[in-house]
Amino acid sequence: MRGPVVVVGDTLLDRDVEGVVNRLCPDSPVPVLDETVATDRPGGAGLAAVFAAAQAPRWCW
């Protein structure tokens, strides 16, 4: 690939959570998650920028 790469869009923060559900919300039948682990990662256009940067040759930096 040659030339600059431009990524246009919204950068989001994706959060993956893990946990245990032991009860339902008292107001509605929705499970309540007791979060034990959370992992943040780029999403949206930010994820596309990370992929583009990973594909760029090292001499472009």
Full residue range of the structural domain in which residue 52 is found? 11-60
- pLDDT given at position 18: 97
Residue 58's pLDDT band, with cuts at 50, 70 and 90, is: low
Asked, for residue 26, whether it belongs to a domain, the answer is yes
- pLDDT given at position 55: 81
Helix/strand/coil (H/E/C) assignment for every residue in the chain: CCCCCCCCCCEEEEEEEEEEEEEECCCCCCEEEEEEEEEEEEEEHHHHHHHHHHHCCHHHC
Asked, for residue 4, whether it belongs to a domain, the answer is no
Asked, for residue 1, whether it belongs to a domain, the answer is no
**pLDDT at residue 59 above 70?**
no
The model's pLDDT over 6-53, given as tens digits with 9 standing for 90+, comes to: 888 999 999 999 999 999 999 999 999 999 999 999 999 999 988 888
Asked, for residue 21, whether it belongs to a domain, the answer is yes
Asked, for residue 2, whether it belongs to a domain, the answer is no
